[in-house]
């Protein structure tokens, strides 16, 4: 069967290239912007997802992981005594100041626990032992801190809140939404360095349930015993933290706007080129009708052209988005393009290209058959 | 039985708030194998009449019958069906698809008429050979001369063996010698296959090959 739609599309290579490039640009824009957005949100909750806890106990109405209020550390005993709780520990999160060799100061978010080991953080450790943290004036920084703190290595010293600490390990992948570098230190050390804020206080209690324990039952019990705290599952707490950034920083609206603009660019380019192509070939469409074709034959042809533009455009847009990953990583950002989202964008591209063809459909439906006789 | 019957055909177009009457009772019959030329000044209704006989437009009034099937104005699908089965068009500007080569132009028309696959390819090849263009079958229209393009257009019009051929100024864009050859081909196609042929033309050369010339003026057939 002769494929007039495909042949016509490929016959005008420049127009086809412009159409597919327009779609590709829109696809790249959407994939990269949403990928960066997802990457940022991933940073905002990566520690929640990496800490092996079933429940998080927070101060009342804490908006997200980083913005915390302290509460009495003794609350942890009330949690530990509950049936169904296998382990419960205090976790301090606190902003501290790091004096740099240049004389400048930078902020760091300190994660402090008595024992990190059972909770699975930090999950990537380059050099040093976690146990070392408890043995003196020691600290570990995430490697992403180099961007702000300058180069450092195990054995170097840094002043944190005026206390000289030796770096005993370097972690990786521990990042925050605000890109403030993350540091790890012993629970008591954090309280010692920041006594006014942290003495006798904790930021969170993380809870690991015993095998077979009823999570909702334990959660209700904790809520009853700690009426001035909130209890979340890890997933709920991650979602709440993510939602805070989406709703309160404009990043969500920004992402929505980018996707909208990307789609608009794609639709406008495809619609414009398909419409222009239809107008240019209008006599040919009239001829199709004259030699026995129907409107449906022409709609199929236009739909096929739109689908081909969508297919080529998607592939040409997807590849640069993937190639940008290492470039983005060099800027200490994450570009996360998940398979589900990729499929969604592919289907969206197809759908939008077909919608773009509707204008051409309308034009074709109204073709004056007598135009085939005009010179 | 006539291949084409048009009785008191009227056509009124709505232009803005006004009704414009283009055909005011045009009548014409064409027998199988008969070649008729239709002449008339610009604005006389030639193209509208041709469009109605070619089932591209439905008449406002009167009766039109093609190959024994009467057009029903309220059934657009019937128009397409009759056009598909019984009509072949040849245009002044050839109207070939520029992205398809000569053979594909013909094969595509066969596809639209329901002939598919190898059969369509074989039939298209036979039609291209019949119009004397076997050696140009793989050429794109841009690489063909005017006469060759018109031959491809004729081969395309013959796809699926229509009983009526309608040609709109088929020699207008051709030089004299080529036009003569094309007209001879028309005569052969009409007489040998008993196919009704209506040629709308201003070209006096056409009169040499037609059985009858009719003139349309002011929306009516004059003679």
What average pLDDT does this structure show over A4-11? 89
* CA separation for the pair B187, A24 (Å, rounded): 54
Residues of B in contact with A375 (CB under 8 A): 92-93
At B205 the pLDDT is 87
Of B91, B98, B116, nearest to A373 by CB-CB distance is B91
Tokens 């437009």 belong to which residue? B57
Structure tokens at B141: 């229209």
Of A316, A323, A273, nearest in space to A27 by CA: A316
Test mutation, B92, B112, B164, chain A, max A CBs within 10 A: B112
User: From start to end of chain A, where are the E strands?
Assistant: 55-59, 71-72, 85-99, 105-113, 125-126, 138-142, 157-160, 163-171, 182-186, 201-202, 204-209, 229-233
What average pLDDT does this structure show over A34-59? 91
At A268 the pLDDT is 82
* CA separation for the pair B6, B65 (Å, rounded): 6
Q: For A50-77, how does the pLDDT look when each residue is reduced to its tens digit (9 = 90+)?
A: 999 999 999 999 999 988 899 999 999 9
At B175 the pLDDT is 85
Q: For A327-366, how does the pLDDT look when each residue is reduced to its tens digit (9 = 90+)?
A: 998 887 889 999 999 999 999 889 888 888 888 888 888 7
Which residue of chain A is at minimal alpha-carbon distance from B119?
A1
At B223 the pLDDT is 58
The band of A29, judged by pLDDT with boundaries at 50, 70 and 90, is confident
Structure tokens at A348: 């969206």
pTM: 0.76
A13 interface with B at CB cutoff 8 Å: no
Q: Which range (A15-29, A96-110, B33-47, B67-81) has the least confidence?
A: B67-81
The band of A87, judged by pLDDT with boundaries at 50, 70 and 90, is very high
For residue A182, give every residue at least 6 positions away whose Cβ sits within 8 Å of its Cβ, in sequence order, or none: A47, A108, A109, A110, A111, A141, A142, A144, A145, A171, A174, A175, A176
Contact B174, B206 (CB under 8 A): no
What average pLDDT does this structure show over B149-168? 91
Collapsed DSSP state (helix, strand, coil) of residue A274:
helix
User: From start to end of chain B, where are the E strands?
Assistant: 4-15, 18-30, 35-39, 61-66, 69-70, 87-90, 164-168, 196-200, 212-217, 220-221
* CA separation for the pair B53, A351 (Å, rounded): 40
Tokens 């002939």 belong to which residue? B115
Residues of B in contact with A292 (CB under 8 A): 80, 83-84, 109, 112-113, 160
Task: Give helix B102-112 / helix B117-130 axis angle, nearest 10°.
Answer: 130
Of A2, A283, A290, nearest to B108 by CB-CB distance is A2
Collapsed DSSP state (helix, strand, coil) of residue A78:
helix
- The alpha-carbon radius of gyration of chain B (Å, integer) is 17
**CB-based contact A369 B56, cutoff 8 Å:** yes
Which residue of chain B is at minimal alpha-carbon distance from A3?
B108
Q: For B171-187, how does the pLDDT look when each residue is reduced to its tens digit (9 = 90+)?
A: 888 888 888 888 988 89
Our CA angle for A7, A13, A19, nearest 5°, is 100
Q: For A185-198, how does the pLDDT look when each residue is reduced to its tens digit (9 = 90+)?
A: 999 999 999 999 99
Contact B190, B33 (CB under 8 A): yes
Residues of B in contact with A291 (CB under 8 A): 88-89, 109, 112-113, 156-157, 159
Collapsed DSSP state (helix, strand, coil) of residue B161:
coil
Reply yes or no on whether the pLDDT at A369 is more than 80: no
Q: A284-293, B90-99, B100-109, B150-159 — which one is most confidently predicted on average?
A: B100-109
* CA separation for the pair B202, B222 (Å, rounded): 16
Reply yes or no on whether the pLDDT at B73 is more than 70: no
Residues of A in contact with B113 (CB under 8 A): 291-292
A284 interface with B at CB cutoff 8 Å: yes
At A167 the pLDDT is 94
Structure tokens at B66: 């093609």
Contact B212, B36 (CB under 8 A): yes
Q: Which range (A122-136, A261-275, B64-78) has the least confidence?
A: A261-275
Model ipTM value: 0.88
Our CA angle for A320, A325, A326, nearest 5°, is 115
**DSSP label at residue A360:** H
Mean pLDDT of chain A: 90
H/E run at residue A308: helix A295-330
At B23 the pLDDT is 93
At A375 the pLDDT is 65
DSSP string, B78-142: HHHHHHHHHEEEE-TT----TTS-HHHHHHHHHHHTT--HHHHHHHHHHHHHHTT-GGGTT--GG
Residues of B in contact with A286 (CB under 8 A): 95
Query: How big is chain A, counted in residues?
Result: 375
More confident position, A333 or A113 = A113
* CA separation for the pair B209, A55 (Å, rounded): 96
Percent of chain B whose pLDDT exceeds 90: 60
The band of A184, judged by pLDDT with boundaries at 50, 70 and 90, is very high
Residues from B in contact with A at Cβ < 8 Å:
47-48, 50-51, 54, 56-57, 80, 83-84, 88-89, 91-93, 95, 97-100, 104, 107-109, 111-113, 116-117, 120, 156-157, 159-160, 168
Which residue of chain B is at minimal alpha-carbon distance from A12?
B99
At A262 the pLDDT is 78
At A265 the pLDDT is 80
| H helices, E strands: number in chain A | 12, 12
Collapsed DSSP state (helix, strand, coil) of residue A235:
helix
At B189 the pLDDT is 86
Reply yes or no on whether the pLDDT at B101 is more than 80: yes
The band of A44, judged by pLDDT with boundaries at 50, 70 and 90, is confident
At B76 the pLDDT is 74
For residue A155, give every residue at least 6 positions away whose Cβ sits within 8 Å of its Cβ, in sequence order, or none: A166, A167
**CB-based contact B92 A375, cutoff 8 Å:** yes
Structure tokens at B188: 């052969």
Residues of B in contact with A369 (CB under 8 A): 51, 56-57
**CB-based contact B159 A283, cutoff 8 Å:** no
Mean pLDDT of chain B: 91
Percent of chain A whose pLDDT exceeds 90: 53
* CA separation for the pair B221, A371 (Å, rounded): 23
At A88 the pLDDT is 97
Q: For A288-320, how does the pLDDT look when each residue is reduced to its tens digit (9 = 90+)?
A: 988 888 888 888 988 998 899 899 999 999 999
At B93 the pLDDT is 87
* CA separation for the pair A116, B171 (Å, rounded): 92
A97 interface with B at CB cutoff 8 Å: no
Specify the fold of B4-97+164-221. Answer: Rossmann fold (3.40.50)
At A34 the pLDDT is 87
For residue A373, give every residue at least 6 positions away whose Cβ sits within 8 Å of its Cβ, in sequence order, or none: B47, B50, B51, B91, B92, B168
């Amino acid at each position: 069967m002769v494929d007039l739609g495909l042949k016509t599309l490929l016959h005008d290579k420049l127009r086809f290239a412009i159409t597919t490039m327009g779609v590709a640009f829109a696809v790249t824009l959407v994939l990269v912007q949403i990928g960066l957005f997802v990457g940022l949100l991933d940073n905002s909750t990566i520690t929640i997802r990496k800490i092996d806890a079933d429940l998080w106990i927070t101060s009342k109405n804490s908006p997200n992981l980083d913005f915390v209020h302290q509460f009495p550390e003794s609350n942890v005993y009330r949690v530990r005594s509950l049936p169904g709780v296998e382990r419960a520990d205090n976790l301090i999160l606190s902003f501290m100041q790091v004096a740099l060799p240049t004389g400048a100061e930078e902020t760091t978010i300190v994660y402090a626990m008595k024992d990190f080991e059972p909770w699975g953080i930090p999950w990537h450790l380059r050099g040093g032992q976690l146990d070392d943290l408890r043995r003196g004036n020691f600290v570990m920084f995430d490697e992403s801190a180099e961007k702000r703190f300058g180069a450092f290595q195990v054995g170097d010293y840094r002043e944190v809140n005026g206390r000289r600490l030796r770096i005993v390990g370097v972690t990786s992948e521990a990042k925050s939404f605000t890109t403030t570098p993350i540091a790890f230190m012993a629970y008591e050390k954090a309280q010692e360095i920041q006594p006014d804020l942290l003495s006798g206080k904790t930021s969170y209690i993380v809870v690991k349930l015993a095998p077979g324990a009823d999570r909702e039952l334990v959660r209700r019990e904790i809520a009853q015993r700690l009426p001035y705290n909130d209890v979340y599952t890890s997933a709920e707490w991650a979602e709440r933290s993510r939602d805070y950034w989406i709703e309160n920083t404009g990043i969500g609206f920004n992402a929505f706007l980018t996707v909208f603009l990307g789609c608009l660019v794609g639709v406008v380019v495809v619609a414009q080129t398909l419409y222009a192509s239809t107008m240019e070939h209008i006599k040919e469409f009239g001829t199709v009708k004259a030699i026995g074709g129907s409107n449906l034959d022409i709609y199929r042809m236009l739909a096929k052209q739109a689908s081909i533009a969508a297919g080529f455009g998607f592939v040409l847009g997807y590849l640069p988005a993937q190639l940008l990953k290492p470039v983005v990583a060099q800027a200490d950002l994450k570009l996360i393009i998940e398979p589900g989202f990729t499929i969604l964008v592919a289907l969206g591209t197809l759908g939008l290209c077909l919608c773009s063809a509707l204008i051409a459909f309308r034009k074709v439906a109204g073709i004056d058959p007598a135009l085939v006789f005009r010179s | 039985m006539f291949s084409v019957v048009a009785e008191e055909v009227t056509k009124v177009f709505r232009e803005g708030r006004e009704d414009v009457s283009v055909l005011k009772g045009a009548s014409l019959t064409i027998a199988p194998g008969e070649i008729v030329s239709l002449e008339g000044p610009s604005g006389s209704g030639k193209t509208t009449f041709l469009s109605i006989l070619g089932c591209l437009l439905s008449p406002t009034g009167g009766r039109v019958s093609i190959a024994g099937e009467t057009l029903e104005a309220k059934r657009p699908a019937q128009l397409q069906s009759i056009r598909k089965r019984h009509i072949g068009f040849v245009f002044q500007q050839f109207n070939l698809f520029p992205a398809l080569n000569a053979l594909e132009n013909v094969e595509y028309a066969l596809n639209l008429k329901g002939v598919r696959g190898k059969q369509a390819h074989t039939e298209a090849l036979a039609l291209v050979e019949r119009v004397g263009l076997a050696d140009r079958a793989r050429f794109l229209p841009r690489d063909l001369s005017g006469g060759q393009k018109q031959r491809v257009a004729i081969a395309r019009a013959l796809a699926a063996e229509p009983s009526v051929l309608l040609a709109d100024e088929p020699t207008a864009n051709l030089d004299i010698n080529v036009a003569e050859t094309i007209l001879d081909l028309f005569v052969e196609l009409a007489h040998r296959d008993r196919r009704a042929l209506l040629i709308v033309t201003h070209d006096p050369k056409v009169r040499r090959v037609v059985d009858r010339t009719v003139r349309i003026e002011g929306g009516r057939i004059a003679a």
